[in-house]
Amino acid sequence: MDTIPAAVTTAAPELKAKHAAMWAMGDYPAVAREVIPALGPRLVDAVGVAAGERVLDIAAGDGNASIPAAERGASVVASDLTPALLEAGRAKSAGAGLDITWQAADAEALPFDDGAFDVAISCVGLMFAPFHAPVAAELTRVVRRGGRIGLIAWTTEGFIGQMFAAMKPFAPPPPEGAQPPVLWGDEEHVRELLRERVELRLAREQLDVSAFASGAAFRDFFKATYGPTIAAYRAIAEQPERVAELDAALAELGDRHLEDGLMRWEYLLTTGTVR
Over the stretch 112-162, which tens digit does the pLDDT of each residue have? Answer: 999 999 999 999 999 999 999 999 999 999 999 999 999 999 999 999 999
Is 140 among the domain residues?
yes
Is 254 among the domain residues?
no
H-only helix segments in the chain: 13-24, 28-34, 39-47, 66-71, 83-95, 132-141, 159-167, 187-194, 215-225, 227-235, 240-257
Each residue of 208-261: pLDDT tens digit?
999 999 999 999 999 999 999 999 999 999 999 999 999 999 999 999 999 999
204 φ/ψ sector (left φ>0, alpha ψ -120 to 50, else beta): beta
Contact status, residue 77 vs residue 49, Cβ threshold 8 Å: no
- Whether residue 11 is predicted with pLDDT greater than 80 in this model: the reply is no
The Cα 73–Cα 98 span in angstroms is 9
Is 77 among the domain residues?
yes
Is 25 among the domain residues?
yes
Our CA dihedral for 44, 45, 48, 52, rounded to 10 degrees, sits at 60
Residues 6+ apart with CB under 8 A from 182: 127, 153, 154, 155, 156, 160, 161, 164
The number of distinct structural domains making up the chain is: 1
pLDDT mean over 76-84: 97
Is 226 among the domain residues?
no
List, in sequence order, every residue forming a beta bridge with 148; answer none if it has no partner. Answer: 119, 273
Is 189 among the domain residues?
yes
- What CATH number is attached to the domain comprising 127? 3.40.50.150
Helix (H, G, I), strand (E, B) or coil at 221: helix
pTM above 0.85, yes or no: yes
pLDDT mean over 167-187: 93
| HEC per residue, 254-265 | HHHHCECCEEEE
Q: Provide the residue range defining the domain that includes 57.
A: 13-159+175-209+264-274
Is 218 among the domain residues?
no
Is 106 among the domain residues?
yes
Q: Is beta strand 143-154 parallel, antiparallel or unpaired with respect to 101-104?
A: unpaired
- Whether residue 186 is predicted with pLDDT greater than 90 in this model: the reply is yes
Our CA dihedral for 216, 218, 219, 222, rounded to 10 degrees, sits at 160
Each residue of 209-222: pLDDT tens digit?
999 999 999 999 99
